[in-house]
Each structure stands twice: as structure tokens, then as C-alpha cells.
Copies of this chain bind each other. A is one copy, B any other.
Amino acid sequence: MADSNALEGLTQALRRLPGVGVKSAARMAFHLLQHDKPGALQIARALDHAVQSIGHCALCNTLTESEICSTCANAGRDRSKLCVVETPADQAALERTLAYRGLYFVLMGKLSPLDGIGPHDIGLQKLFERVVPKNAQGEPAGAGSREVQEVILATNFTAEGEATAHVIAQALKSRGVQVTRLARGVPVGSELEYVDLGTIAHALVDRR
């Protein structure tokens, strides 16, 4: 593109954004430098600020600037239910339904053996300790003394999401925790003719 190491460096850097290839990166760099230098500086400041200030919630693992995120700190939520999601965006989707008043646990990822992402790379251990905390003697707490009574698995209905849900369900059931999964079925507003076979089969099996 143009004659500039700084421009080349910016284009290379922008390619680290997910979903941005070399043409998009060049177009972004060109747009910012030609039409929106204040925007470029705004993005730089926001990145610096976010990297410095954002960490993980001690309870639910989501991204937050505080020790405990506002959802976990909300005394009005039902602390006996814990909904496990892959990302903050998934949590936001569930929140928009206004149908759930419990707490969340955000894995910040999913099991993906092909990409080398195993149980230690996502928040599984933190989840298990959250649900079945150890007592003063280092032994798992009994069912009666536990805060979380039900774990709702809301990972995505993809191969990786299903595998992640399966691993969590196995581990928690062996610790005596009640584990449920979001219902699979026909999406609201859809016509059967256009729904895929796997979904219809699941909707038949899980009919109520």
C-alpha cells in the first residue's frame, strides 16, 4: 500500500483483530489516518485503559474492573442457581430475556481439543471450586452447606459447546450437584418445513 512503515505496522497490528484480514486492515488504517485521526487516538486510549483496568470477577469469571462484577454483587439475584455460559455476550443474551434471576459463571471459552484448548485453559477448575467449595479441612462441602443448588448449562449448541457441557455435567454430577441443560427444540416463530432435521428430532425426543 502506501509508502510508510508506520502504516504497514498499523495494518499488521489491526490484523490481530478477529475477523480482520489484510484488505480490511488496510482499509481500516487508511480510513483512520485519512478521515478519523481522533478516532484512532480514541481507540488507542480505550485499548490501553481496558488492558490496564479489566480483570476477571472473583466469583463468576467475567471481565470486570471490580473485584466482584455487578451481577454477582446484586443482592436481589437468586444465589442458588448458577448458569454456565461461554462468553459475556452469551450472558447478555440470557439477561435480555428477563427470564432468569440467578447468577452466572462465564467460562470465557469452550473446550476445543483441535485448537489445543483443554479444561485448564477455560475456567473449569474455578467453576468446580465455586460450586463445591472446600471446607476448612480441605474436604468438599456437603450438599446441605452449598450455596449453589442447581447448575444450568447454557453453553452453545455447537460441537465444542456440547462437549464442554458434557464434561461439566459429568464432573458436577459425580460431586452430587443437580445439573440441567437449556432445552433444545424448534425456535419460536419458525416453520417446521425450514427447521433442520437434528433440531426436529431433538424436539420430538424432548417433547412435553
Contacts and interface: CB of A to CB of B under 8 A. Distances in A.
A195 interface: no
A124 interface: no
Nearest to A72: B3
B30 A87 contact: yes
A interface majority secondary structure = helix
Contacts of A17: 14, 28, 31-32, 39, 43
B31 A40 contact: no
A5 interface: yes
Contact of A18 (B13, B18, B28): B28
Contact of A4 (B10, B18, B65): B65
Given A3-B57, A63-B2, A64-B3, A41 B47 contact: yes
A154 to B, nearest CB: 16
Nearest to A88: B2
B2 A29 contact: no
Interface stretch (A19-27, A139-147, A197-205): A19-27
B46 A10 contact: yes
Contacts of A23: 89
A71 B3 contact: yes
Contacts of A33: 50-51, 54, 63
A16 interface: yes
B48 A92 contact: no
A40 B30 contact: no
Contacts of A51: 32-33, 37, 40-41, 44
